[in-house]
Amino acid sequence: MTPEASAAAHAAAVDRLIHSYRAIPDDAPVRLAKKTSNLFRHREKTSAPGLDVSGLARVIGIDSDTRTADVGGMCTYEDLVAATLEYDLVPLVVPQLKTITLGGAVTGLGIESTSFRNGLPHESVLEMDILTGAGEVVTAGPEGPHSDLYWGFPNSYGTLGYATRLRIELEPVEPYVELRHLRFTSLDELQETLDTVSYEHTYDGEPVHYVDGVMFSATESYLTLGRQTSEPGPVSDYTGNQIYYRSIQHGGAETPVVDRMTIHDYLWRWDTDWFWCSRAFGTQHPVVRRFWPRRYRRSSFYWKLIALDRQVGLADFIEQRKGNLPRERVVQDIEVPIENTASFLRWFLANVPIEPVWLCPLRLRKTRSPGLPSPTSPASRPWPLYPLEPQRTYVNVGFWSAVPVVAGQPEGHTNRMIENEVDRLDGHKSLYSDAFYERKEFDALYGGDTYRELKETYDPNSRLLDLYAKAVQGR
């Protein structure tokens, strides 16, 4: 498709989106009409028609000279990466699951192993077109008449509007990634090494382009350091019988395990088994895996199984037959300052029976790519709805499972404990899953005053849901 045809197709898609918005009754909730979702929190069902976003799932254009791309808000990272890799470029942060959309990662936050040097996905957005709650499409950038929406859009989860187009930065990549898996028997040593690598971007004399980790227990945890390379050689394939997260559990504390992957397979290394969550479906059993089609070894298919289970209640039925209460779903990503990481992990091991957990460091970006505009922060914490401190390293801890419920405990007992501990350690949690905050605490953590000002400006008639209602009350 020519650039002109692509732009025309996108304009027509935006027109259909606006038309579908205006067709929704004033008293009906406004939601996207899409088949997939990466949200885990409860949502009330509605029979109202959704927004027509069918034409917003494409890459509109790529400029390899400026290393930028214009992308529809509903374009998945799988499709985006496939397009940019043709130019040996990728987005600065590529979230781990293929069906996450660019618009979703910006309005709902995303993270990956480049976040220690590239921050979060919304930090590489140069400008975006947003359909607001007022039914208008506005262009928001770091400066200008809608800069308040640009800074306030991340972590708003569609309650201020929906991105129809985003212009993002890209970065060059080599064809391969060499991995070193470092084993730690001490959480304090893990924290110290992670802090040093996140700040210096090197380890043992070699550059580090990617870093994340996995904790299996208090005495067994790993950091995986990735280095881009153009050197040819054998590569591993974890889309077949081999399981990526198990591949790092080898070698001793003194001898790092070395591995190599293509850049494409590295970016999607977690998707085949949805990190380690595929074991809940039995797909990590060697016999089952041998007969489980490769096309179904991906997060999007596991999502369909989860949705089916919610419809029929199979997991709860099995627990009931065992004489147990339904299990509490504990699916969270939280961030704590690097200096509190070991403390949180020790607390987690003592209170939450889930293993392993994912670790990923992040720092807000200092500068943009040469030649691109550098936004001026309106405050010391530039993204008010998810206020992380500049020049400070945080660690994302991800855990995705369920725990037994004990009779007499309030709903969400374990999730509430986690929220309290994260708050005590000066951290935050993402809002894609269940949350139990009281309104006052929620507003203090997620920019309540700024959010209300943005809501009055861009959704004056409250056509879109309130963030607290959506994230905590499940409306």
pLDDT tens sequence across 111-134: 999 999 999 999 999 999 999 999
Range with the lowest mean pLDDT among 42-51, 122-131, 242-251, 279-288?
42-51
Whole-angstrom Cα distance, residue 153 to residue 130?
Answer: 9
Cβ atoms 135, 458 nearer than 8 A = no
Asked whether the predicted pLDDT for residue 283 surpasses 80, the reply is yes
Please tell me the predicted confidence (pLDDT) of residue 49.
65
34 has pLDDT over 70: no
On average, the pLDDT of the chain sits at 88
Catalogue the long-range contacts made by 215-220 (C-beta closer than 8 Å, 24 or more residues apart). 215/187, 215/190, 215/345, 215/355, 215/356, 215/357, 215/359, 216/249, 216/355, 216/356, 217/349, 217/355, 218/187, 218/345, 218/346, 218/349, 219/185, 219/186, 220/183, 220/184, 220/185, 220/249
126: CB partners within 8 A, 6+ apart:
68, 141, 142, 167, 168, 169, 372, 373
Residue 47 has pLDDT above 60, yes or no: no
Is-contact 83 55, C-beta < 8 A? no
Residue 323 has pLDDT above 80, yes or no: no
Task: Encode pLDDT of 237-257 as tens digits.
Answer: 999 989 999 999 976 666 778
Please check the confidence at residue 367 and state whether its pLDDT lies above 60. no
Average pLDDT value for residue range 146-153: 96
pLDDT per position as a tens digit, 176-219: 999 999 999 999 999 999 999 999 999 999 999 999 999 999 99
Q: How far is CA 433 from CA 22, 136, 318, 464, in A?
A: 29, 29, 23, 19
How confident is residue 475, by pLDDT bands cut at 50, 70 and 90?
low
Greater confidence, 93 or 50? 93
Cα gap 144→125, rounded to integer Å? 15
Task: State the chain's maximal CA–CA distance in angstroms.
Answer: 64
Are the beta carbons of 396 and 375 closer than 8 angstroms?
Answer: no
Alpha-carbon gap, residue 460 to 392, rounded angstroms: 36
The stretch 124-149 carries a mean pLDDT of 95
Percent with pLDDT over 90 in the chain: 66
Q: What is the pLDDT of residue 379?
A: 46
For the residues 139-161, what does the mean pLDDT come to? 95
What topology is assigned to 3-173 in CATH? 3.30.465
Instruction: Return the pLDDT at 393.
Output: 96
Structural Rg of the chain based on CA atoms:
22
Q: Compute the distance between CA of residue 61 and CA of residue 128 in angstroms, rounded to an integer.
A: 14
Amino acid at 378: P
pLDDT digits (tens, 9 = 90+) for 339-365: 999 999 999 999 999 999 999 999 998
